[in-house]
Structure 1
Amino acid sequence: MVLVKESLTPRSSSWMASRCPKHQPIIAFFVIFLAVISASAAVSTDKRIAARVQRLNKPSNKTIQSPDGDLIDCVPWHLQPAFDHPKLRGQNPMRPPERPSGEDTSSKPAVEMQTWRNTGEDCPEGTVPIRRTTEQDVLRASSLRIFGKKPAVTTRRNSAAGNHEHAVGFANGEFFGAKASLSVWNPSVSVSAEFSLSQIWLISGSFARDLNTIEAGWMVSPRLYGDTHPRFFTYWTSDSYERTGCYNLLCSGFVQISSKVAVGASISPTSVYGRRQFDITLLVWKDPKFGSWWLELGSGELVGYWPSCLFSHLAGGAKMVQFGGEIVNTRPSGSHTSTQMGSGHFAAEGFGRAAYFRNVEVVDWENSLVPLSGIRVLADHPTCYDVGTGVNRVLGIYVYYGGPGRNTMCP
């Protein structure tokens, strides 16, 4: 055995000596080539991220430092991102539409519900407050393509995207708007790729191909905003969340007119379990004359509008309205996420404990606000998050919803 070992060793060394020098330059070349390609790709990505941020952050007349860390830029109205859209370039602001009848805002105080307003500073007339986008905001997204968009539902090709789970009150029919007051909470979000939101949906079209939606409410989304503050948000899509639409002003489309409300800014205060309940009132309705969909917050503050040219089916009326909560569960197999919906408590716990929508109304074809009739409920995972509805003298038509996510009944 010693002889065999001695006879093999020189032969092996000789083979290495004769072969390695011929391959080492080739291997080294490929290592260098891959390094150059990788570095070029990184530089290209950095440039594209910087370009996206530059497109979104328009020149401003003033910048306000919010206590929560946001920078609020006061951007001249005509420079806002909406007018990057080819169908909106060069347009003048639309005149405020006729409000739906049946609404009384005369006795309601102004709503000061955004943290940046605590500075006591306002944006000058003729400008709109826009939360500044940073490169870090973009880097938190899994790709530039989906930055600012709602995470896709899990598919065979995209198993990490997560399942969207809902607990909502809904109705089918012909609707030209919706209104409700929704309580604001600060639910715990388990991982940064998940979110928890509460919103009003106006929906038309096919869920499979060309769904049109308008959405507004509040949300907690660490990936989108880099923190866990509840934030006022908007969303729209005209093709089932594929290519069109986005959150807030992160793409062209939604036209802001308010100088007092920053879409995407944090909300303060929030509701406290068993104690004070804080809610915001939202109204979305279709301009009977020009067809755009307008958004109002609180006591008559017009935030802005979605032009009708953005949509196919919603160029007419909505075929469904929904009021409730949504979360993303990035663990569709195995244990359920512990991300909370609403207050983190179930609907049966009622006022002061469960999250709610109160005074739920819709806008009919005569541009009148009427109580929503025929409301039904749907919870995708009722042991994790549930929903209930009813009517009483104080809350009008209401929807309670929410839950803790993972628990003994939702393992």
Structure 2
Amino acid sequence: MDFTLCLTSPIISFLVHFLLLVASLACPVLSSQSQILNQTFQTQKEFLKLNIIRTRLQQINKPYVKTVQSPDGDLIDCVLSHHQPAFDHPLLKGQKPLDPPERPKTYHQNQMGSFSENFQTWTLSGESCPEGTIPIRRTREEDMLRASSVRRFGRKIRGRVRRDSNSNGHEHAVGFVSGDKYYGAKASISVWAPRVTNQYEFSLSQIWVISGSFGQDLNTIEAGWQVSPELYGDSYPRFFTYWTSDAYQTTGCYNLLCSGFVQTNNKIAIGAAISPTSSYRGGQFDISLLIWKDPKHGNWWLQFGSGILVGYWPSMLFTHLRQHASMVQFGGEIVNLRSSGTHTLTQMGSGHFAEEGFGRASYFRNLQVVDWDNNLIPLSNLRVLADHPNCYDIQGGINRVWGNYFYYGGPGRNVRCP
């Protein structure tokens, strides 16, 4: 019998239509089941993520003896100094913070005014932590939920220093010295509140102490101020530190978000907002930072202002920096994600170009390095470089009052920087 003729019979035709009807009725059921399974999977995924976050928060946030509520919304926990995150490190377990080291011999320069340690919003009402404790900005669940990667929370995403700046959207305007052995660096950095237009971009101004080949063995120690909506949830400039011993891959972090930096000061909270800030054609405010290698124990210490010790990076965290640095950089860095297809409007420094000068452009002044004999000395070979001078630029100089200095920064996207 011819099969094609058979399909035309009423019974076969009815059966075909019936099967098509059953299939059409089953589709919404299958689709609904698929949606339920997908929702269940998403719920389990979110539950897993929250569990990971809460476990991480327990590691970061230590038991405290006192909490200070900052006017900007931060919670500052006063933690016993020997319970701080640094001592979670296997090589630091059971230790306590070291005594202050011998400080570098100072090269005389006009400091143009010095500021007290009362430079952070949380201390403006006179609050501080008791002796024997250190202030730590509390990390909250919402901080980690904002992060582009929970696994890498607290680390620079695709961090870079100037030599690698042509990739991953990191742009710089820096002064730098190289070609010698360096045992520290010092500068006064004007503080601004630049606009950051994307949650996952940042704008910072800092000192880099660098050693290694600029490959995967890169060691850096960093300190300065930054605006990072992803990390802090706001647009305040904040005092920060950073370190890495493998080019930002698996080691190091911001502030006290991992074991590493050992804090010794009970009045300065790393990661807390800075106040006041500079204003365009108005008052100018800067912070002085010194990083140097203790000649006796080899640890790298951080000093704020005219002599306030913040803490130190233990020498054992590093490979190349156990000996000395091979380069020092000073300046600004932003991340340009080009999320709208054009250059970002995120500002560097004051958001104004270097040529506008004092009161308008951001600056670094009194740049110095520490030599092999623990002396602070002026720079003899400072070079300046801007990756994208139409977006952010830099102009250096030297005079009797400011020593080595430069103005730097810019607005980002403009008619010359599309």
Query: Normalising by structure 1, what TM-score?
Result: 0.92
In structure 2, the CA distance between the partners of 1:244 and 1:10, relative to structure 1 (3 Å rule), is: same
Structure 2 residue 132 is the aligned partner of structure 1 residue 126: yes
Q: Bigger radius of gyration, 1 or 2?
A: 2
Q: Which runs of 5+ in 2 are unaligned?
A: 1-7, 161-166
Deviation at 1:44, TM superposition (A): 1.1
- Alignment match, 1:87: 91
- Alignment match, 2:121: 115
List aligned pairs for 1:89-238, cutoff 5 A: 89-102=93-106, 110-152=116-158, 162-172=168-178, 173-238=180-245
Structure 2 residue 56 is the aligned partner of structure 1 residue 52: yes
Alignment-mate amino acid for residue 128 of structure 1: I
How far does the alpha carbon of each residue in 1:245-268 deviate from its partner, in whole angstroms, 9 at most, with x for none? 111011110000100100000000
Deviation at 1:174, TM superposition (A): 1.0
Structure 2 residue 18 is the aligned partner of structure 1 residue 14: yes
Structure 2 residue 374 is the aligned partner of structure 1 residue 370: no
Q: CA RMSD in A?
A: 2.5
Deviation at 1:93, TM superposition (A): 1.5
Give the secondary structure class of the aligned counterpart of 2:172: strand
Structure 2 residue 310 is the aligned partner of structure 1 residue 310: no
In structure 2, the CA distance between the partners of 1:17 and 1:181, relative to structure 1 (3 Å rule), is: same
2:391 to 376, 384, 402: 384
How far apart are the structure 2 equivalents of 1:250 and 1:94?
Answer: 20
How far apart are the structure 2 equivalents of 1:124 and 1:35?
Answer: 49
Structure 2 residue 233 is the aligned partner of structure 1 residue 247: no
Give the secondary structure class of the aligned counterpart of 1:119: coil
Contact 1:196 1:341 in 2 (8 A): yes
Structure 2 residue 78 is the aligned partner of structure 1 residue 71: no
Alignment-mate amino acid for residue 65 of structure 2: N
In structure 2, the CA distance between the partners of 1:42 and 1:333, relative to structure 1 (3 Å rule), is: closer
How far does the alpha carbon of each residue in 1:83-126 deviate from its partner, in whole angstroms, 9 at most, with x for none? 11111111121121100002679995633210100121221110
How far apart are the structure 2 equivalents of 1:180 and 1:9?
Answer: 89
Q: Which runs of 5+ in 1 are unaligned?
A: 155-160
How far apart are the structure 2 equivalents of 1:23 and 1:410?
Answer: 54
- Alignment match, 2:363: 356
Contact 1:162 1:331 in 2 (8 A): no
Alignment-mate amino acid for residue 358 of structure 1: R
Deviation at 1:10, TM superposition (A): 5.8
Alignment-mate amino acid for residue 338 of structure 1: L
How far does the alpha carbon of each residue in 1:143-201 deviate from its partner, in whole angstroms, 9 at most, with x for none? 211211112169xxxxxx95100000001021000001000001011111110000000
Structure 2 residue 263 is the aligned partner of structure 1 residue 259: no
Alignment-mate amino acid for residue 49 of structure 1: I
In structure 2, the CA distance between the partners of 1:342 and 1:367, relative to structure 1 (3 Å rule), is: same
Contact 1:169 1:322 in 2 (8 A): yes
May I ask how many residue pairs the two structures share in their alignment? 401
Contact 1:387 1:399 in 2 (8 A): yes
| 34-43 vs 367-376, which moves further | 34-43
How far apart are the structure 1 equivalents of 2:203 and 2:143?
Answer: 18
In structure 2, the CA distance between the partners of 1:296 and 1:40, relative to structure 1 (3 Å rule), is: same
Contact 1:111 1:299 in 2 (8 A): no
How far does the alpha carbon of each residue in 1:67-97 deviate from its partner, in whole angstroms, 9 at most, with x for none? 1111100000011111111111111211211
Deviation at 1:275, TM superposition (A): 2.0
Deviation at 1:334, TM superposition (A): 3.3
In structure 2, the CA distance between the partners of 1:222 and 1:146, relative to structure 1 (3 Å rule), is: same
Deviation at 1:303, TM superposition (A): 0.4
Structure 2 residue 44 is the aligned partner of structure 1 residue 37: no
Contact 1:124 1:259 in 2 (8 A): yes
Alignment-mate amino acid for residue 72 of structure 1: I
Contact 1:245 1:251 in 2 (8 A): yes
How far apart are the structure 2 equivalents of 1:131 and 1:183?
Answer: 23
Give the secondary structure class of the aligned counterpart of 1:37: helix
Deviation at 1:142, TM superposition (A): 1.2
In structure 2, the CA distance between the partners of 1:336 and 1:293, relative to structure 1 (3 Å rule), is: same
| 23-32 vs 394-403, which moves further | 23-32
In structure 2, the CA distance between the partners of 1:7 and 1:352, relative to structure 1 (3 Å rule), is: farther
Structure 2 residue 300 is the aligned partner of structure 1 residue 300: no
Deviation at 1:352, TM superposition (A): 1.4
Deviation at 1:55, TM superposition (A): 1.4
